[in-house]
Amino acid sequence: MIVRLGPELRVRGRLTSASGTALSGAYVTAVAIAPGTTADDVGYPGAWGPPIVAVTDTSGAFRVSGLDEGPHVIRAWATGTSSQARVVSVPEDSGATFVIAPEPDTTDR
């Protein structure tokens, strides 16, 4: 028996703050979704399977591997920031740049 595997499907990108600073140690997840679903339609961790998780390196770069072909919600966040989500189509959208802003301070003073 011969088993041939296709190329590994993945999404790569970079996570930065609004000022352009790389966000190291931030989290990025990918969840497969049904075609036509938007990022707002999907709750965490997602209805179509468990998320695949990656952590950004010192340059803010990430790579989420082991994805199936089709649409995915990519969600990114770092400590002290709001999360950002985007729907991508794998393998067509293989690179993504996320810019995330600090969360508003809601503590009483």
Cα 64 to its chain centre, rounded Å, is 8
Joined together, the tokens standing for residue 11 give 């999404």
End-to-end CA distance of the chain: 69
* pLDDT confidence of residue 108: 46
Domain 11-100 sits in which CATH superfamily?
Carboxypeptidase-like, regulatory domain (2.60.40.1120)
* 96 closest CA partner among 62, 66, 67: 62
Query: How confident is the model over 82-103, as pLDDT tens digits?
Result: 788 888 888 776 666 666 655 5
Instruction: Average the pLDDT over each of 2-16, 20-34, 37-51 and give the range with the smallest value.
Output: 37-51
Separation of alpha carbons 109 and 91, rounded Å: 48
Domain locations in the chain as residue ranges: 11-100
* pLDDT confidence of residue 77: 87
Joined together, the tokens standing for residue 77 give 């966040």
Quote the percentage of the chain above a pLDDT of 70: 70
Give the confidence band of 109 by pLDDT, cuts at 50, 70, 90. Answer: very low
Phi then psi dihedrals of residue 100, to 5 deg: -120, 145
